[in-house]
Chain A
Amino acid sequence: MRNQRSVKQEFLRKWITGLRRYSCDEKKNMSFLERKKAIKLSADIAMASTRDKTTRWSQALIANASSSGDTLTGSSKNNSSRSRKKMLMMRRRRPKVKSAKKEMSASCIAKRLAEKRTRKLKNLLPGGESIDEGCLVEETLDYIESLRAQIEVMRYLVTASQLIINPYP
């Protein structure tokens, strides 16, 4: 377990840095949706970068962000696997496997259900498509932990901003 407090501080620092790149004049002219996307993207990237390339999901997230033309991190990742990941993403629509075997055992059915849900979980993780099952649980837990920290800091910022706008509620 990382020191959550320092993680949050690092996240906040990086996030604010990222946000600033969007501010100045651009901010006034940004649509609401663009602003929201910028905020979310810089938050995601900031959180991913606190992982310092130690997890797959954070690497994938940053790689995806750079490939979409955004270089908030400053360092452009030269990912040849980037296009491969895109290919894998497109292959996501696998043909439904229909089994006509009615006499499937209960354990077989359970196994299939577990497999189906495992796939679902992989789809939720950044870069989860190409992840191997040995790391899946670890990555998932790390990702969840990071998301929770990210949300806490974001909530904090919401509260702080509200106070700035209306200091005497």
Chain B
Amino acid sequence: MSSGSRSSRQRSHSSRISDDQIIQLVSKLRQLVPEIRNRRSDKVSASKVLQETCNYIKNLHREVDDLSERLGQLLSTIDADSAEAAIIRSLLSN
């Protein structure tokens, strides 16, 4: 008998990530971001990893936002065509 404390609608598919996936996420994250370190390598709490991941993504979003802002200022002061063409050419050739 459902105690009613869980909405069955939420459980249309399980919102549990499998342990394997957590391990995969952890190992990949550590490759990408050396700063994300675990206290012990084998015992990893799923929620902690998820939280680290969320924080990391939020930081990335913030950085994109910040860079867009800076570019907004910079690009407005550059004369459109000539400078942009120069940038593009040099960047694409790298």
Contact = CB atoms under 8 A, between A and B. Distances in A.
Contacts of A95: 7
Interface stretch (A31-39, A48-56, A62-70, A73-81): A31-39
A141 B28 contact: yes
Given A114-B16, A118-B50, A124-B54, A157 B24 contact: no
B86 to A, nearest CB: 7
B72 A35 contact: yes
Contact of B91 (A20, A94, A97, A157): A157
Interface in B25-81: 25, 28-29, 32, 45-47, 50-51, 53-54, 56-58, 60-61, 63-65, 67-78, 80
A111 B21 CA distance: 15
Contact of A16 (B10, B65, B88): B88
Contacts of B75: 19, 27, 35, 39, 161
B53 A121 contact: yes
A157 B17 contact: no
Interface string A121-141: 100110000001100110011
Interface of A: 9, 12-13, 16, 19-20, 23-24, 27, 32, 35-37, 39-40, 43-44, 94-95, 97-101, 110-111, 113-121, 124-125, 132-133, 136-137, 140-141, 143-145, 147-148, 150-151, 154-158, 160-162, 164-165
